[in-house]
Amino acid sequence: MPQIPIIMPQLGESIAEATVVNFLVQPGDIVNVGQDILEVETNKATMNVTAPCAGRIDKFSVQLSESYVVGAVLGYVEASQAEAERLGLDIVEASSPISTPAPRGSGPEEDTATRSRTVKPTVRGLPVPAHAQGATYMSPRMKARMTDLGIHAADLSAVAGSGSGGRVTIQDFEKYIENLEQQRLSQASTMRVAVADAMRRSWTRPLATVGLPVRLDALFAHRKQCNPKPGPALYALRALAIALAENSAPAGRLVGNKIVHPQSIDIGFAVEAEDGVLVPVIRKVDQKKLAEIVEVYDSLIKLAHQRKLPIDATGGSIATVTNFGTFGLEWATPIPLPEQTLVLGMGAGRKVPAWDEQQGKFVPVLEANLTLSFDHRVLDGGAAGRLLQRVASLINDPGQL
C-alpha cells in the first residue's frame, strides 16, 4: 500500500524546529485524516501534529525528547491509493527505503542538506521553495564573506537554503554569488546604496500606516492670495509642525525602555534627486508662519536638486513630509527614516462628489489622501489617527498656518 509521510509542519512564522514529547497513537493504530497523532513542543507552545490522511500508522521514525526541523519526516501512514490521490499527497512506495531523520544538531550543517532535499512539499507552484527562511542564521565565516562583498542579510531573503530548517549555508551563499556573476550587473550609486541602507534599518521596526481624505479647496483658495505661493506639501508640513507642537509625544523615539521626546519641531521634506531622495530640514517650523518659510522651502528644493544642501539643513529632523501626489499617486505607505517615528504623505488631488447639506445635492470638491506612517512601538493606531485628524483640520483652515 502507498505510504504517506508524516511531515513536521510549520508551527509558526519563526519556528524552525520542534521537540517530540509524546506519541498519541501507536504503530498499527487506525487513524482518521486530521487526527492528533504526535505532541511536539516549540520554544513558544506545545502543539499537536495531525495525520495527513486516513489509514494505518506504519511506523514512527523519531525519538522522544529529540528535536526535528520543519519539513522532517516523522513517520508514515499506510493509506489506500484512492485516499492518497484524493488528498493530492506525495506517495512513498512500500518497497522504497525508509530513512530515519537525524535529530536536530546531530551532525554538521552540510549533512542536513541531504535530509532537507528528501522532503518534498505537498503544495506545488510556490514562488519560493516551501520552508525557505533565507539567511535567518549566519555563521561567522559567512558573515565575514558577506562583509567582504558588501552584502546584507536582506539581500539573501529569497535564497532557498539547504541547511537545517531551510537555513542558508556557506555553500548556498557561494552558489548564489556565482549565479549573480553570470547576470547583467551595474554599479549602484553612492546615494542609492545610502537610501537602501536607511530603508533596511528603518524596516527593522514594526511600521504601520493610517490614511484620511482631506479637502483641498480651502488650501488652494488661500494659496491664490499668497505671494510667493506655498506648495501643498508646505501646507502639510506647517500643519504637522503645529500639531506636534501641541503634543510632541507622537514624534518621540523609543530607545530601550525610554521615550526620547523632541527638543525642537524640525521637519524634513522629501525631494527627489538623481537616483535617490534627499531630505532638507526646516528648523523650528512651529515658530514660523507659513509665509516666512516659503522662500526657505523653495531654496532648499533647488539646492537639493543640485546636491548642495548646507549642513545645517540636513539631519536631526523629527518627521518627514513627502508629496507622492506629484507622481500621480493617490495612495502610498512611505517609510520613516531610521531616526524618525513619523512620515506624513500627501497624494494627488482629484475631483470627487461630496454631499452639500445646504444645497441638498452632491457638489464637486478637490480631495487628496493624507497618510501617516509611524513606528508602532511608539504610537498606536488611535493616537496616529488623532494626529492625522488634527493635521487635516489645520489644512482645512489654512488661515491658522
Q: Mean pLDDT throughout 292-306?
A: 91
Average the pLDDT over 169-193 and give the result: 80
pLDDT at 170 (0 to 100): 80
DSSP-derived 3-state class of residue 378: coil
Q: Which fold has domain 3-106?
A: OB fold (Dihydrolipoamide Acetyltransferase, E2P) (2.40.50)
Averaged pLDDT for residues 354-363: 90
- Mean pLDDT to the nearest integer, 321-338: 92
What band does 174 get if pLDDT is binned at 50, 70 and 90? confident
Among left, alpha and beta (phi > 0; psi -120 to 50; other), residue 325 is: alpha
- What is 195-400's CATH number, 3.30.750.24, 3.30.559.10, 3.40.1710.10, 3.40.50.150? 3.30.559.10
Tell me the three cell numbers of residue 27: 504503530
Flag whether pLDDT at 108 surpasses 70: no
| Higher pLDDT, residue 246 or 306 | 246
Contact 156, 167 (CB under 8 A): no
Across the range 163-167, mean pLDDT stands at 64
Cell (9 digits) for 73: 519526516
Q: What is the pLDDT of residues 6-43, one digit of tens each?
A: 988 877 655 677 889 999 999 999 999 889 999 988 76
| Residue 102, pLDDT score | 52
Which pLDDT does position 146 carry in this prediction? 81
Percentage helix, strand, coil for the chain under 3-state DSSP, each rounded to 5: 30, 25, 45
pLDDT of residue 213: 94
- Residue 349 C-alpha cell reads as 488631488
Instruction: Indicate the domain borders of the chain.
Output: 3-106, 116-185, 195-400
Asked whether this chain's domains 3-106 and 195-400 adopt the same fold, the reply is: no
Residue 379 CB neighbour total at 10 angstroms? 22
pLDDT at 104 over 80: no
Q: Grid coordinates representing 380?
A: 498606536
What angle do helix axes 217-224 and 232-246 make, rounded to 10 degrees? 110
pTM above 0.85, yes or no: no
In this predicted structure, the answer to whether residue 128 has a pLDDT above a threshold of 70 is no
pLDDT on residue 14: 56
Mean pLDDT of the chain: 82
- Residue with the larger pLDDT of the pair 190 and 117: 190
